[in-house]
Amino acid sequence: MSVLVVGSTALDSIKTPCRLNPRLLGGSASHAAVAASFFAPVKLVGIVGDDFPRRYIQLYRRHGIDLGGLQLASGKTFHWAGEYEVNMNNRRTLTTELGVFETFTPNLPEAYRQTPFVLLANIAPALQHQVLNQMRRPRFVVADTMDLWLNIALDDLLKLLRRVDALVLNDSEARQLTQEDNIIAAAKKIHRLGPKYAIVKKGEHGALLSSPGGMFISPAFPLNKVVDPTGAGDSFVGGMVGYLAGRSRGAPDAHLKRGMIYGSVVASFCCEGFGLTRTTRLTREAIEQRARLLERMVRF
């Protein structure tokens, strides 16, 4: 089955202690869509400006991503610039230029509206609502978000939470959303806001799932060296939802745990290159191999 992915389609300028990489393909939807594409057909919803390099369109196409919902507008593509510290955990946003996203109204092609799996990747909750409004009874809806929306669009986000099956967010966002310092308690509180499944990302420490079936502790794949963590969270959720869509039998939640493992694996590859440079060279076999390695590292 296929996955609809909406989120930001952007150009990222990423500065690390070693390198500056201007205008890489980035954005939550780009990372999530490419990650999901290894497991299931993907339909992309987003907007780019007339400065968007043709080679990035080709990159989406190489991954078989349906671009019927990608608007090409006159103006500038969303541009984000950020800088990482030496430890690669702390990052600072240098620039956020919304460009064509400022006036974006997602308008889904007819063929998109029955997509069974919907990934509302990180973007303004109002846009996530607009996409959901156009869908016909999706099987499983996952939303990702970020601290920015907790700060400036909390009401929209809270309304959204009542419409999704699963919420994905990082540990500090989970604390902020629930006003709860302990992240286990925070994860459990999220259910009261709507989502049946709460997934808390902890970066290099993995992720936690709180579900009606109990907690699941998902490991991160241990990396000796992180080149660029930008998009790792988006890759995680993209790989996870892609995996769910790729399993045609059984309830989606039955596959969620293994989906998190595959999400972690794609996220680990993402961190090994700037932007999407490593992820885009992946094969399903390389993913399977690392998933087996990871599985061995948690067995006892």
Note whether 222 binds a second copy by CB under 8 A. Answer: yes
Q: How far is the CB of 223 from a second copy (least distance, A)?
A: 6
Where are any strands of DSSP class E within 86-150?
Answer: 91-97, 117-120, 140-144
| Window contacting a second copy (CB under 8 A); options: 64-72, 142-150, 161-169, 221-229 | 221-229
Note whether 91 binds a second copy by CB under 8 A. Answer: no
Q: How far is the CB of 235 from a second copy (least distance, A)?
A: 19
Residues 279-298: x where in contact with a second copy by CB under 8 A, - otherwise, as a string: ----------------xxxx
Strand ordering across the sheet containing 140-144:
66-72, 42-48, 3-6, 117-120, 140-144, 166-170, 197-201, 207-211, 214-218
Alpha-carbon span 205 to 146, nearest angstrom: 18
Q: How far is the CB of 258 from a second copy (least distance, A)?
A: 5
Note whether 90 binds a second copy by CB under 8 A. Answer: no
Note whether 159 binds a second copy by CB under 8 A. Answer: no
Alpha-carbon span 212 to 58, nearest angstrom: 41
Which residue has tokens 């989502």? Answer: 195
Q: How far is the CB of 89 from a second copy (least distance, A)?
A: 9
Among 19, 205, 284, 292, binds a second copy (CB under 8 A): 205
Under a CB-based contact definition with an 8 Å cutoff, are residues 173 and 193 in contact? no
Q: How far is the CB of 184 from a second copy (least distance, A)?
A: 4
Q: What is the SS3 assignment for 249?
A: coil
Residue type, 270: C
Q: How far is the CB of 182 from a second copy (least distance, A)?
A: 6
Q: How far is the CB of 243 from a second copy (least distance, A)?
A: 11
Under a CB-based contact definition with an 8 Å cutoff, are residues 172 and 196 in contact? no
Site residues for a second copy, 182-201, by CB under 8 A, read 182-185, 188
Specify the DSSP class assigned to residue 204.
G
Under a CB-based contact definition with an 8 Å cutoff, are residues 242 and 223 in contact? no
Q: Could you tell me whether strands 20-26 and 42-48 are parallel, antiparallel, or unpaired per DSSP bridges? A: unpaired
Site residues for a second copy, 240-269, by CB under 8 A, read 257-258, 260-261
| Window contacting a second copy (CB under 8 A); options: 35-43, 148-156, 176-184, 280-288 | 176-184
Residues sharing a CB contact under 8 Å with residue 221, sequence separation 6 or more, in sequence order:
264, 265, 267, 268, 290, 293, 294
Under a CB-based contact definition with an 8 Å cutoff, are residues 200 and 184 in contact? no
Among 6, 42, 141, 208, binds a second copy (CB under 8 A): 208
CB-wise, 11 or 261, nearer to a second copy? 261
Among 159, 223, 272, 273, binds a second copy (CB under 8 A): 223
Question: Which tokens hold the place of 140?
Answer: 């499983």
Q: What's the N-to-C CA distance of the chain in angstroms? A: 34
CB-wise, 65 or 240, nearer to a second copy? 240
Q: How far is the CB of 247 from a second copy (least distance, A)?
A: 13
CB-wise, 121 or 241, nearer to a second copy? 241
Give contact residues for a second copy (rule: CB under 8 A).
Answer: 86-88, 181-185, 188, 202, 204-206, 208, 214-219, 222-226, 257-258, 260-261, 295-300
